[in-house]
Amino acid sequence: MKKFLLFALINVFIFTMGCKRQNIKQGPYSYESTGAEKTATFDDEEPSTRVDSNKDINLKTVYFEFDKSDLTECSIETLKENAAYLISNSKIKIILEGHTDERGTTEYNLSLGQRRALRIKEYYTKLGISSNRIATISYGKEKPAELGSNELAWSKNRRVEIKKY
> Looking at residue 2, what is its pLDDT?
55
The yes/no answer on whether domain 57-165 falls in CATH 3.30.1330.60 is yes
> Looking at residue 14, what is its pLDDT?
46
Q: Where are the domains of the chain?
A: 57-165
Looking at the predicted structure, is the pLDDT value of residue 146 above 80? Answer: yes
> Looking at residue 4, what is its pLDDT?
52
> 71-83 pLDDT, tens per residue?
999 999 999 999 9
Task: Please state the rounded mean pLDDT for residues 74-94.
Answer: 96
In the chain, beta strands by DSSP E: 22-26, 29-33, 38-42, 62-63, 94-99, 134-140, 159-164
> Looking at residue 1, what is its pLDDT?
56
CA distance 90 to 154: 34
Q: What would you report as the CA-atom Rg of the chain, rounded to the nearest whole angstrom?
A: 18
> 9-51 pLDDT, tens per residue?
555 444 444 443 333 333 444 343 333 334 454 444 443 334 4
Task: Please state the rounded mean pLDDT for residues 96-109.
Answer: 97
Q: Which residues pair with 31 in a beta bridge?
A: 24, 40
